[in-house]
Structure 1
Amino acid sequence: MTTVMPQSELTRKAIKWICESMEKSGEAPLNKMIEQAAARFNLSPLDVEFLQRFFREQGKG
């Protein structure tokens, strides 16, 4: 039986997965990682935009 998760929880899991994957793979392209996370966690286009903004802001800081 599948568990229904709030969308914000899926976004948090996607961020964690992307960060862990980037640590393991080194210089993987961020856009590629976001695309993979979107498919893996069934994210909406708005969630994908949020991830792109989130990681862009992290890069500036």
Structure 2
Amino acid sequence: MATVMQHEELVRRALRYMVERRRECPSVGVAELLDGAGVRFNLSPLDQEALERLFAQQADEARA
């Protein structure tokens, strides 16, 4: 039986996926990371926009 996951959890998992992929391969661009996360986690375009903002925010915090 499939487990229903809350929408926010998908975005959080996608963010973790992007951060891990960036650590593994720093040369991968943000657009490619977003596309991969969108497909892997079945995200809508709006979800991908939110994910992009979260990823940028996390990157800014990491630099500070």
TM-score by length of 2: 0.82
Write the mapping of 1:20-59 to structure 2, written as runs, cut at 5 A. 20-59=20-59
Percent sequence identity is 38
Unaligned runs of 5+ in 2: none
Backbone CA RMSD of aligned residues: 1.3
Distance 1:20 1:8 in 2: 19
Q: Which amino acid aligns with 1:30?
A: V
Q: Which amino acid aligns with 1:3?
A: T
Please state how far the C-alpha of 1:55 moved relative to its aligned partner. 2.2
Please state how far the C-alpha of 1:58 moved relative to its aligned partner. 3.3
TM-score by length of 1: 0.86
Please state how far the C-alpha of 1:2 moved relative to its aligned partner. 1.6
Please state how far the C-alpha of 1:26 moved relative to its aligned partner. 1.7
